[in-house]
Amino acid sequence: MVVSSQIDVLQGELAASAATPASRAAALPWYCYAVVFAIACVPIGVLWDISWHLSIGRDSFWTPAHMMIYLGGSVPGLVCGWLVLRNTFWPGPAEQSPAVRIWGFRGPLGAWVVIWGACTMLFSAPFDNWWHNAYGLDVQIISPPHTVLALGTYAIAIGALILVLSWQNRSSADGRLAANLLVLFACGVLLTQLTVFITEYSYPNEQHGGTFYEFGCRLLPIYLIVAARVSKIKWSATWVSLIYMTIKMALVWILPLFPAEPRLAPIYNPITHMAAPLFPLLLVVPAFGIDLIMQTVGRKRGFWRDTGLALLLAAVFFILLLAVQWPFSTFLLSNAARNAFFAGNAMWGYPDHLGQWCVQFWRPENRLGITSSVMAILLGTLGARLALWFGNWLAEVKR
């Protein structure tokens, strides 16, 4: 209900903004669209690549999944490089030039962050190659070179968010709908990237364990809270969670449609189609809780006020995540989820020895208890406090 009423509001605002000549004059620049849509290529490409590794195994520099990741780094990097050159060598009037100065060059702050991210991605490639030669091919998802790569991709996405936010923050209320939507989209992409990075801890089989809730509460609320703080659209955290869930579900439904044959040995699970990513976490519920709290508390700020708010947000996030994922993970491990919609049995790859462990909760010694619950809330408070601080700063960024 809330979602459909929001769509009506958005459609109305979009129609109104398209109708006024003033808003046309202040149209969101093309590079914002290019950069924000390009960053979506990264998590989609990474999820595709993980599926490729689980299904086909053998890959090369030129696989479509890799190309998609490169696209997500190169397009924003080149566009922002051009922005810096344009602002440096062909600047407009100072009052129209949203730029900061670094090493004698001038460019939008978001563009600088994107450039740093693109350079970091580039640097991670030879580092990762060396790592493969030194320790073997992708023994773990979370490795130092992958972390450098992830930092680069996050930086690009954060830079894109800053680029659009600075435009939103400078614009009048009636001409910023497109920027508002792109902000939500960028937050959704960032959230998706975060969930990819904690894939190893977020299997349904881990969702009765303390580690999942500790990682989840520490990281997942960050961009939901940032969105709620910076966005000019109501229910923004809910929208962001829906964007994340849509991206994930689309891949869960689309990837297994494609035939695939393992090309590496040993093959313990002779799959015939691409493996599905994990079914998305039902973050829409805790995100809705975050929106409710943020709207109730209002936009007033202050160190202690935000610290108390962070504790409240973390506690509510933890409770709602637990209330949703605890039973939902049980469902995902049941026979009822072994279908094309939930892909409960389509996420295992060719190297997996299928067995009873696939439908069991792992690491019983790690089962969520009081200590890990308290730890999850404390870590969540830390993450939420940082998100509020970052959101407060982003809400005022102009360049």
Partner 1 sequence: MRIAAARAKRIVLCCWLCAACAAFAHVGSPTVFFQGLAGSYPIRVTIEPPGVVPGLAQIHVVVASGEATGVTVRPVRWDVGVKGSPAPERAVLVPGETNLFTSQLWLMASGAYSVFVEVSGPRGEGTAIVPLNSVATQRLVMTSGMSIGFLAAGAFLLVLLISVVGAAIREGRLDLGDAISPLRRRRGWYARGIMAAVLFAALFLGYKWWNSVDNDYRHNRLYRPQSIQAELKPDAAGARQLVLRFSASSHLDSTPLIPDHGRLMHLFLIREPDGDVFAHLHPERKPQERDDETVFAARLPALPAGQYKIYADITHESGLTQTLTNSLRLPPPDVAADLTMPMAEADDALSLAAPGDVSTLAFPGGLRLERAFSASLPVNQETSLVFHLTTENGAEAALEPYLGMYGHLIIENSDGTVFNHLHPLGSVSMVSQRQFAEREKAGYLANKPLDQFCTAARPDLSFPYAFPKAGVYRLWLQTKVAGRILTGAYLLSVK
CA separation for the pair 342, 256 (Å, rounded): 11
CA separation for the pair 219, 216 (Å, rounded): 5
What binding mask, one character per residue, do residues 174-213 give for partner 1 by CB under 8 A, x or -? ----------------------------------------
By CB under 8 A, residue 392 contacts partner 1? no
- Sole window of 41-49, 181-189, 256-264, 373-381 interacting with partner 1 (rule: CB under 8 A): 256-264
What one-character DSSP code corresponds to residue 209? Answer: B
What binding mask, one character per residue, do residues 324-353 give for partner 1 by CB under 8 A, x or -? ---------------------------x--
Minimum Å gap between C-beta 14 and partner 1 is: 26
Q: Which of residues 158-177 bind partner 1 (CB under 8 A)?
A: 170
Buried b / exposed e across 17-27, counting CB within 10 Å, b at 16+?
A: beeeeebeebe
CA separation for the pair 275, 132 (Å, rounded): 23
Minimum Å gap between C-beta 108 and partner 1 is: 10
CB atoms within 10 A of CB 172: 9
Instruction: Please report, to the nearest 10 degrees, the dihedral formed by the alpha carbons of residues 357, 361, 366, 372 taken in order.
Output: 160
By CB under 8 A, residue 9 contacts partner 1? no
CA separation for the pair 196, 110 (Å, rounded): 23
What binding mask, one character per residue, do residues 357-376 give for partner 1 by CB under 8 A, x or -? --------------------
What binding mask, one character per residue, do residues 106-145 give for partner 1 by CB under 8 A, x or -? ---x--xx-xx--xx--x--xx--x-xxxxxxxx---xx-
Phi/psi of residue 42, nearest 5 degrees = -65, -60
Phi/psi of residue 100, nearest 5 degrees = -120, 155
Cis geometry, peptide bond prior to residue 266 (ω within 30 degrees of 0)? yes
Site for partner 1 (CB under 8 A): which residue of 267, 282, 297, 323?
267
By CB under 8 A, residue 95 contacts partner 1? yes
Minimum Å gap between C-beta 54 and partner 1 is: 12
CB atoms within 10 A of CB 270: 8
Residue ranges in contact with partner 1 by CB under 8 A: 57-58, 93-98, 100-103, 109, 112-113, 115-116, 119-120, 123, 126-127, 130, 132-139, 143-144, 147, 170, 261-268, 270, 351, 393, 396-399
